[in-house]
Amino acid sequence: MSVDSICGVTLVGGGVFTHADLNLALGLAPMLVAADGGANALMAQAHMPQHVIGDMDSLDPALMSRLRDQIIHIPEQDSTDFDKSLHALNAPFVIALGFDGARLDHTLAAMSSLVRHGRARVVMLAAQDICFLAPPHLTLALPIGARVSLFPMAEVTGRSSGLEWPIEGLRFAPDAQIGTSNRAAADRITLEFDQPGMLVLLERAHLRPILTALQDGPDWLSP
């Protein structure tokens, strides 16, 4: 079963997020969906999700009864609720919040899910940054000096223009070359990658232009 939306989706997990985070995401992606226990956090902020996706091992039983018609139950235990939700959603883009926070294992699992899902149009909104899977080609308008961190989750090669430290000729891998704390040296940068697997981390202030750039450019998989 899938959830189809013609607009962006705000997907909320059970991790840390603020009321301001939620309002920011909903202003850009008005369909509200919870990943399992994310519904508990939403209802605590007086927000009713339109759908709840997951194995339902974290959803409050009383809330499960109340939201019965909105639940998409995927009982298998071989993937996270973030994975389940991303595979069930069919939308132009997804803003994901509540998938990082105090538990580092949850944050790493969410970053792995971005790569496994294979679509670049899923942006994780974290406490200070946004994180997304780099598409095959990306053009960004950024202030000169803006931080552009690249973290490979697989072996990746690519090219760039407008970065202070160009990436052409480098072979990135999680146990070898990484690309954190690069910077924009021009007000327009381009990134090209030969394989999926590179995560891009930017400051939250760039969320709106990133969503526009991701929707305007190519992706590894069809929407």
Q: What angle do CA 87, 132, 214 make, to 5 degrees?
A: 90
pLDDT per position as a tens digit, 135-159: 999 999 999 999 999 999 999 999 9
pLDDT for residue 68:
85
Nearest to 81 by CA among 64, 62, 58, 60: 58
Highest-pLDDT range among 12-16, 76-80, 184-188: 184-188
* Cβ neighbour number for residue 114 with a 10 Å cutoff: 23
Residue 22 has pLDDT above 70, yes or no: yes
Least confident of 22-31, 54-63, 88-97, 173-182: 54-63
User: What is this structure's pTM?
Assistant: 0.95
Residues in contact with 217: Cβ distance below 8 Å, sequence separation at least 6, in sequence order = 120, 135, 137, 138, 139
> How far is residue 38's CA from residue 134's CA, in Å, rounded to a whole number?
26
Question: What pLDDT score does 116 carry?
Answer: 93
20: helix, strand or coil: helix
Q: Which helix (H) or strand (E) holds 81?
A: helix 81-88
* pLDDT, position 207: 97
Burial of 142-158, coded b for 16+ CB within 10 Å and e otherwise, reads beeebebbbbbbebbbb
Q: What is the mean pLDDT of residues 86-105?
A: 91
In this predicted structure, what is the pLDDT of residue 102?
Answer: 65
Amino acid at site 80: T
Q: Are the C-beta atoms of residues 50 and 32 closer than 8 Å to each other?
A: yes
Q: Considering just the CA atoms, what is the radius of gyration of the chain in Å? A: 17
Task: Locate the domains of the chain by residue range.
Answer: 3-127, 137-216
**What is the domain class of 3-127 according to CATH?**
alpha beta
Nearest 10 degrees: CA dihedral of 70, 34, 196, 203? 150
- What pLDDT is attached to residue 78? 82
Does residue 21 surpass a pLDDT of 70? Answer: yes
**Cα 120 from Cα 88, distance rounded (Å):** 16
**Is domain 137-216 in CATH 3.40.50.10240, yes or no?**
yes
pLDDT confidence band for 222 (50 / 70 / 90): low
Q: Which position has the higher pLDDT, 123 or 43?
A: 123
Percent of the chain with pLDDT over 90: 78
